[in-house]
Structure formats: C-alpha cells, structure tokens
Amino acid sequence: LPQMAASPSDAAPTDLPHNTQSTNPKAPLSTLGSIANITKLILGAGSFALPWAFRHSGIVVAAIAVLLLGLFAHVTVHMLVESKRMIEDSGTSAVAGDVHSDGLDYSQISEIALGRRMEYIVKALTLCSC
C-alpha cells in the first residue's frame, strides 16, 4: 500500500488506495453516483431487494407474491381514486372545507371517510414513508 500523508487533508489523490471513497460530505458526486442515487430514489429500496427475495423464496412463490401485491396495490389505488371522486362530487364537506379549491390529499380523504384521528395517523405514516 502507498504511504499515507500525515493528515487526511494533506493526502494527494495518488496517495490514497484506489478503492477508497471520499469521506468529505461536500465533495462533488460523480455522474454515475448521481444517477444511482436518483434511480434508487425513484425505484425505492424495496425493488433492489427483489433478486434476494426471489433467490430465497423460489421463483414460483416470489412471482406469485409479486403479482398478488401488484393486484393489491392496483385495487387500493382504485379505491382511493373512487373515494376522492365521490367526495368531490358531493360538493363541499364540513370537515375538509371546499374540496374543489385545491383537491384532496390522502389525509383529507381519510379524515372525511374515517374521522380526524385517522387523518393524523395517515399523516404520520406518510411522513415515515418518505
């Protein structure tokens, strides 16, 4: 291994081993690193665990689970859209005010459908999932 400088700030790039990454949080990120971060942000960490899940559960079980979870997600989004449509078609709500002005978010739909307590629960869960 090459000889390290006295302090990390004195080290020239040639003094560091090739596989060492910068620990400076203000160091610029490479283009490839930026693309990887944005891809992980869009796809989510769970999608990167799919190969592991397929390997440990088997291709048939994992494929069935993915299809069932996809169907569940589709039905859930459909129910949410229909709930929003029904609330907006009703005009105004004493709970959410004029629903046509800004549209509705998840917490407002849950408040109208299930009460004020559920609105807070949905807000907390949304905050945790971000």
**Helices and strands in the chain, H and E counts:** 7, 2
- State residue 16's pLDDT score: 46
List own/partner pairs for 64-70 with CB under 8 A and 24 or more apart. Answer: none
130 residues of the chain, pLDDT tens digit each: 445 555 455 544 554 444 445 566 666 778 888 888 777 777 777 777 888 889 999 999 999 999 999 999 899 889 988 888 888 888 655 455 544 445 677 788 888 888 889 888 888 888 876 5
Q: What is the DSSP string of 71-116?
A: HHHHHHHHHHHHHHHHHHHT-EETTTEEHHHH---HHHHHHHHH-H
- State residue 54's pLDDT score: 92
- State residue 67's pLDDT score: 94
Residue-wise pLDDT tens digits, 105-118: 778 888 888 888 98
